[in-house]
Amino acid sequence: MKGTLYLIPTTLGKTSANNALPEHTLEILRSLDVLVVENIQSAVKFLHWVGDTVPEFKIDFYQLNKHTPDQEVFSFLKPLKAGRNMGLLSEAGMPAVADPGSVMVKMAHQNNIKVVPLVGPSSILLALMASGFNGQQFSFHGYLPIDPKKRKQMIIQLEGESRRHDRTQIFMEAPHRNNDLLKAILDTAADQTRLCTATDITLKSEAITSKTIEEWKSNPLPDLLKRPTIFVLYSK
């Protein structure tokens, strides 16, 4: 029999106590001796945080990132085909959601390997939940363009789509560019458009702010530099 590919979420940041992962998810992770990870060093640190896992020297690690060629990813299926269970471990949050790994999941399905997604934190959905915006119609757009002109055009496009289709727009930025993106949104969007920033979700430093662009401009801006943040835009 073939093994099972478990999709294993991780915490969204460093926490002393577990407030994000069900015990069922942790118990499955503790049983696995084959893991596909984005970064082996950070994965080992996470395993130490979980505790009581298979010793790291007994775990077969396969490294998968956005640069891994498909042929190499396909070779990762060998343990599964041999009957061993495997975990696809996210770097932060949910595997294959704004995270490498979907190609691995696709190949597993193509080879009739059972795929089991496990419960854990998703910054995208948590931000949507906390925004107060439309949770029936929403889209996630990943990273916006870095080029200022293209980024402005994208903000205008997303705002227009939100207004026409009553759709919540969700996106993110590399943490060191968060403040630049916040300023670009405030300089571009209409005053009555609503913006939510959800920063350091699930951590003690969590900060979630949801208000109109006009209200944002009337208050001191938060410093989002190097703090993981989800941006949620809504215009109606």
Contacts of 221 (CB under 8 A, 6+ apart): 179, 182, 183, 186
β-strands 138-143, 60-63: how paired?
A: unpaired
Mean pLDDT of 191-213: 97
Amino acid sitting at position 106 = K
Instruction: Give the up-direction half-sphere exposure of residue 96: CA atoms within 13 A in the CB hemisphere.
Output: 18
184 confidence band (pLDDT: 50, 70, 90): very high
pTM: 0.94
Q: Give domain limits for the chain.
A: 4-117, 123-234
Mean pLDDT of 208-218: 98
The reported pLDDT for the residue numbered 231 is: 98
CATH number for the region 123-234 comes to 3.30.950.10
51 confidence band (pLDDT: 50, 70, 90): very high
pLDDT in tens, 107-128: 999 999 999 999 999 999 999 9
Does the pLDDT of residue 24 top 90, yes or no? yes
14 confidence band (pLDDT: 50, 70, 90): confident
Does the pLDDT of residue 5 top 90, yes or no? yes
CATH number for the region 4-117 comes to 3.40.1010.10
Mean pLDDT of 78-82: 98
**How many other C-beta atoms lie within 10 A of the C-beta of residue 217?**
12
22 confidence band (pLDDT: 50, 70, 90): very high
Does the pLDDT of residue 175 top 90, yes or no? yes
pLDDT in tens, 136-171: 999 999 999 999 999 999 999 999 999 999 999 999
Q: Report the run of H or E that residue 186 belongs to, with start and end.
A: helix 178-188
